[in-house]
């Protein structure tokens, strides 16, 4: 006997929640990227000033 698998369709609420989670993760990644760039820039400026 073969069991039928039920297919769960995304509801509008789930889709909106996923969109919000992705947006938060993207903002967090942007903040991390800007922080890394600022760190590299600062280290570069300090090293150039120590010559």
pLDDT, one tens digit for every residue, the chain (51 residues): 566 777 666 666 678 889 999 999 999 999 999 999 999 999 999 999 865
Please report, for residues 11, 25, 26, 36, the alpha-carbon distance to residue 14 in angstroms, rounded to integers and kept in the order given.
Answer: 5, 16, 18, 33
Confidence at residue 5, expressed as pLDDT on a 0 to 100 scale: 74
The pTM of this model reads 0.64
Confidence at residue 2, expressed as pLDDT on a 0 to 100 scale: 64
Confidence at residue 1, expressed as pLDDT on a 0 to 100 scale: 57
């Amino acid at each position: 006997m073969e069991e039928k698998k039920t297919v769960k369709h995304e509801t509008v609420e789930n889709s909106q929640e996923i969109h919000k989670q992705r947006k938060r993760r993207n903002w967090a990644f942007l903040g991390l990227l800007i922080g890394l760039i600022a760190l590299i820039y600062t280290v570069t400026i300090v090293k150039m000033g120590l010559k």
